[in-house]
């Protein structure tokens, strides 16, 4: 399986980079992982609704440019479906079984994802109703992907 994680903004925090690199390394035996960062749109702290829409559209266009045809897209969104780790593993296994070998997870910027990205998504996934920094979300996501493969293979790790 080829998994791409597309996120907005450059990851700067060393501790997050180290955690993500560790899980990507662990995933090497299960899947090819490609981390793609698209630039975030520079914007002032206070934005009007129209300005927010412009920022999300520009970031969304950058995200969509990184998604290839035939890729199954999972957008991380607050209105997405919440799953257990076992459900996520079962869903990834089903994708592999039914020939969806290219999967892209999409993490938006601080304002979220533009509607065009959400429309392109085949499904929306939610990790909870709490707000998390999108950089931290990348670490949580890659850990859950690793956990999913361990569950699929029946290997110890998931407790």
HSE at residue 108, side-chain half, CA atoms within 13 A, is 27
Please report, in range form, the residues annotated as the binding site for S-adenosyl-L-methionine: 76, 108, 127-132
For residue 59, give the nearest of 122, 130, 113, 21 by alpha carbon. Answer: 113
Specify whether the backbone of 13 is left (phi greater than 0), alpha (psi in -120 to 50) or beta: beta
**Which tokens hold the place of 117?**
């990205």
Please report, in range form, the residues annotated as the binding site: 76, 108, 127-132
CA distances from 40 to 5, 96, 153 (A): 15, 32, 37
């Amino acid at each position: 399986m080829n998994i791409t994680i597309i996120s907005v903004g450059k990851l700067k925090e060393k501790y997050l980079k180290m955690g993500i690199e560790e899980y990507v390394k662990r995933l090497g035996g299960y899947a090819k992982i490609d981390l793609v960062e698209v630039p975030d749109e520079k914007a002032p702290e206070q934005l009007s609704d129209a300005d927010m829409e412009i920022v999300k559209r520009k970031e969304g266009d950058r995200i969509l440019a990184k998604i290839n045809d035939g890729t199954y897209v999972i957008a991380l969104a607050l209105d997405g479906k919440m799953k257990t780790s076992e459900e996520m593993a079962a869903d990834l296994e089903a994708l592999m079984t039914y020939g969806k070998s290219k999967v892209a997870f999409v993490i938006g910027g601080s304002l979220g994802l533009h509607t065009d990205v959400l429309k392109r998504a085949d499904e929306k996934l939610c990790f909870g109703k709490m707000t998390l920094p999108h950089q931290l979300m990348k670490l949580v996501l890659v850990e859950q992907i690793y956990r999913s493969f361990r569950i699929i293979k029946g290997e110890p790790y998931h407790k």
